[in-house]
Chains A and B, each alone.
Chain A
Amino acid sequence: MTARPHVLYAGLHLLDRQLVDADGMLAGKVDDLELEPDGTETDGTGPPPPLIVRSICFGHGALWRRLGSGRLGSWLEQRHDHPRERIAHLPLSRVDRIGPSIVVTARHEDLATYDTEQWVRDHVTAHIKGSTHATE
């Protein structure tokens, strides 16, 4: 439907865009990007090698870092580093489609952005009658 651009600008086409999971559920925003040199050999005199996007980052840690509080961001992110915790970044290969939203091949429950959702669901909405009824 929307024409695919010939050139993707990471800052424009990825950053701050809505994440949608494999089932169509809203799963957070692309809060930050992880960049790395593209691997071409340089002799140290020429321009530095171009950067490529390695992965998209999401969750409060990445957002706080972009908002300017690096220390708070890193602390929040470390909380996700435990192996059994949810993941706070996905490699670009897990990105299925880049359009008005970014569709990823993951489930929203497995992403770091689901932590607060689950807490609120278990501690607040689950205690109110009718939370499992669709209103439509």
Chain B
Amino acid sequence: MKKFLAVTLGILTAIGGFVDMGDLVANAQTGSRFGLSLAGVVVIGVLGIVVFAEMAGRVAAVTRRAVFDLVRERLGPRMGLINLIASFFINLLTLTAEIAGVAISVGLLISVSYVLLIPLAAFLVWLVLWRMPFEWMERFFGLLGLVLIVFVVSVFKLGPDWGDLASQATHPAVPEHESLATVAFFAIALLGAAMTPYEVFFFSSGAVEEHWSTGDLNVNRANVFIGFTLGGVLSIAIMACASLVLQPADVQVDTLPQVALPVAVAMGRVGLAVVLLGIFAATFGAALETALSAGYSVAQYFGWQWGKFVKARDAARFHVVMLGSVVVAALVGMTAVDPVKVTEYSIVLSAAALPLTYLPILIVANDPEFMGDHVNGRLANFFGSIYLVLLLVVSVAAVPLIIITKGGSG
């Protein structure tokens, strides 16, 4: 019974923790522009993160080694360093966007300009990182993030033509006033939002933080297969809400409150309050995860002691990297850069950097010397290989598409 509760709690946390600023923005934007015609990309993205997070969690449970540890070992110091610099930069962009998301959601609730709230949001993020135990932190924000189910409820409340939604989702097409490049740009954004590298850095390091062993492989599978899949359902609900309310009104999403608008239309003030709470929890949780990932990746590259499972004084460099990242992200956010643009760039660049992170995971998950009986099965390798090819194509196309479409605005 206790085991069952722990597994359930893990799944709920995984669902609530799945959505972040990138998912909120990318799904609402594509919903408002293309209806549900890109919903299939979300499915592809969610399956991709399921495949690689399961491998990364399994490797961490069996060997106690997290993803960036493997990156350095399998890519060598030079390629590993290039990956570290790229991932760290993307992580900082994501952290900037998440902290802005926290400030915006609180700012709407108390009617204060979000830029003024950024220092406070950043300080709270850092305080939680410095003092709150890992499991409490993960569970509190994960469970609070579950209120985003309000997007699913809203879809029902809006009373859509289900046949029409289904036909949009199963007939992807380029709308007449949009170019193929623009559609491709947003497809990559959706993929990047679902599969951001920080998710596997965080998930695998979290497995080590929680002292997973081979006995926890079932928990790993349950969290990933059920939790992440249901998290993907939330993503599609956000897209559906935008397509039902914003697309007919010809509203294009370029601010975070517009993401919440359909819920307000469907469910009134209470709905709006709940969705803002959900956005707060999702972005706060993701700010913690990205800041931790900044620390994890640097510390694991150099072999420093890391983790919240030791006292802060015993992992001083790790904590200072996190503190520095939060400060830089807050300073960038306070220049009033457009948080939605920052989010877009962070997820498209994430997609570009994915192969460098996922290749080492696939290699190590196949190494019997590391994994013993827990090496990849045929299914994991089949999907792992297909995704690596797909991600290589995406990686080559991402930056040219940013230029051609002027960051999706073309």
Contacts and interface: CB of A to CB of B under 8 A. Distances in A.
Given A16-B76, A120-B317, A130-B312, A3 B368 contact: yes
Interface stretch (B127-135, B332-340, B385-393): B127-135
Interface of B is mostly: helix
A29 interface: yes
A68 B320 CA distance: 27
Most B CB within 10 A of own CB, among A100, A113, A121, A133: A100
A117 interface: yes
B327 to A, nearest CB: 12
B156 interface: no
Contacts of B113: none
Contacts of A16: 72-73, 76-77, 80
Contact of B372 (A3, A5, A63, A133): A3
Interface stretch (A20-28, A33-41, A89-97): A20-28
Interface of A is mostly: loop
B72 A29 contact: yes
Contacts of B369: 2-3, 5
Contacts of A133: 131, 311-312
A20 to B, nearest CB: 9
Interface residues of A, number: 40
A29 B302 contact: yes
A15 B64 CA distance: 18
B1 interface: no
A101 B62 CA distance: 12
A101 B320 CA distance: 25
Most B CB within 10 A of own CB, among A1, A28, A31, A135: A135
Nearest to B211: A136
A3 B319 CA distance: 35
B28 to A, nearest CB: 35
Interface string A102-136: 00000010000100110011001110101111111
A15 B133 CA distance: 34
A105 B240 CA distance: 58
A27 B314 CA distance: 11
B317 to A, nearest CB: 5
- Report the 9 A-B pairs with minimum CB-CB distance, sorted nearest first: A29-B303, A121-B316, A100-B63, A28-B303, A131-B312, A120-B316, A26-B305, A125-B316, A131-B313
